[in-house]
Structure 1
Amino acid sequence: MNHKQCLNCEQTVSGNYCQNCGQKNNTHAITLKHFLFHDIIHGVWHLEKGILLTIKETFTRPGQAALDYINGKRVKYYNVFYLILMLIGLNVLTVHYHHKIDPSSVNKNVGDGLKFMNFLSGNVKVILLGFVPLIALNAFLVFRRLKLNLAEHFIIGGINLLGILVLCLFINLLSLLDTFQGIEYVAGILKFICFFLILLFPIWTYFNATKKRYSILGFTWRILTFYMFTIIEISIILYFIMFIVTNQTTFKLNL
């Protein structure tokens, strides 16, 4: 039923949505049938559809999907950074269950190595999200023809991290299969493939984003420079974290 006045902010409405607050003008009385078949099923379907589409686009056209989002085509996509947080949680959960099923997989480090690994696991969200600005800054310096500002490069960096986390989740799920005799060999091969794809994923993302902007040679030296910057920076950051953690008894980031 359409109303001439918005039921939320009481402003005059002339279309399907309120021009003032954005609420739909087509509202219904809440009945059990409407609640079950529209509010719940319809809402969950749209949520899952957005998530599945975002993940699909992350692997089929990551760079172009990020550029679409930057250019304003955002309704069909689920928020990349919300999805990243969900995938971090799923990865942590699968690792936890893997350790429970196979106690031999639990970290055997002692001393400084144990402190370092405990710090990484205790601050995994901060550390992983911290890769986004790092990747964004390097891409901003290297891929100038995209003509994006640093904040816009955060979106492409987020797509990069999202794809990597999905692949990490596959690796963790495959690790759960290692406990079953007879399929650990196949699981090992699939994990190696996923790990290889993780290494290559930024290449695919930026190749897709910079399509027709660079020659093959121009893209090649730029992506190699991007990888070189990223590897050096990550090495320095990990060394710094190792130094801090091993020289202080308590050091934890809060998110």
Structure 2
Amino acid sequence: MKVTCKNCNHIYSGHYCSNCGQTAETHRLNFHFLWHEIRHSLFHFDEGILYSGKQLFTRPGHTIREFIEGKRIKHLKPISLVIILASLYGFMYHYFHISFVETTVQRTTETGIDNVKFNEWMGTHYAWTTLLMIPLYTIGTSIAFRKQGYNLVEYFILNTFKASQKLFVHIALFPLLNHFNGTHSMQTLSLVIYLIDVVFIYWTNAQFFNKLSLKKSLLLTLLSQLIFLSCLISLIIVVDLILKSF
């Protein structure tokens, strides 16, 4: 049966308009419609997070490669996922007053950075700082794995999923952060968590770039981390110089 799209007036057959994607069934806006939309949105929202989370810890590189190749319907959109997880972690970070420096040390460091204010800023802007790190990771990955046939946006999506994977890990380990909060052990714990992050990054890369040997994937992963850290240090120096100029 032919249907005239109520959105663009295109005549088509099927459940969705072939021109703009509008659904053929457009029900009247009433309480029944509202309840259906709420249930549908919540169900697919939760399902998307759970599905993506499970895939990122069972077959991370394979599922990200399949997403890039077009298998996307079950996943929550990668940028939405990372923003949700980063916002949750940032709220926890701020609410429990997490500090990676000892509470007994001086409030202001030699560089003039107020530790208390810096930690509070991190907690309230964690989602934005997480998003800022993704392009830096992307630079490292795109340079180290430049011969693997992916473009910059595809490397960005890869690293967006890696950021979500990292956030899942950090949220799972949050009880440890809270337990050792403000103690000297936090510096050791942060190093351990970073090494865990690198292991997951390597595992994901080894699956994603499955045509490479495990040894080469490891070497290129370490190279990408060095490039990322170089970019991060350079960015911090530039920002510090800009702030000092005012």
TM-score scaled to structure 2, two decimals? 0.78
* Paired position in structure 1 for 2:133: 131
CA distance in 1: counterparts of 2:164 and 2:217, whole angstroms: 22
* Paired position in structure 2 for 1:146: 148
1:236 matches 2:238: no
How far is 1:192 from its partner? 8.3
CA distance in 2: counterparts of 1:138 and 1:192, whole angstroms: 20
Q: Report Cα offsets for 1:73-112 as digits up to 9, x if no partner.
A: 2222211112212222212211121029xxx969963261
1:138–1:230 CA contact under 8 A, matched in 2: yes
CA distance in 2: counterparts of 1:117 and 1:80, whole angstroms: 28
Q: Report Cα offsets for 1:127-167 as digits up to 9, x if no partner.
A: 32222222222222222342101121111111111111222
* Paired position in structure 1 for 2:174: 172
1:7 matches 2:6: yes
How far is 1:22 from its partner? 0.9
How far is 1:227 from its partner? 2.2
Q: Tell me the amino acid that sits aligned with residue 202 of structure 1.
A: I
1:40 matches 2:41: no
- 1:193–1:59 CA distance, 2 compared to 1 (3 A): farther
2:78–2:161 CA contact under 8 A, matched in 1: yes
Q: CA RMSD in A?
A: 3.4
How many residues align? The count is: 233
* Paired position in structure 2 for 1:113: 113
- 1:74–1:106 CA distance, 2 compared to 1 (3 A): farther
- 1:174–1:229 CA distance, 2 compared to 1 (3 A): same
2:62–2:208 CA contact under 8 A, matched in 1: yes
**Structure 2 unmatched runs, 5+:** 182-188
> Percent identical across equivalent pairs?
25
2:206–2:214 CA contact under 8 A, matched in 1: no
CA distance in 2: counterparts of 1:110 and 1:248, whole angstroms: 19
TM-score scaled to structure 1, two decimals? 0.75
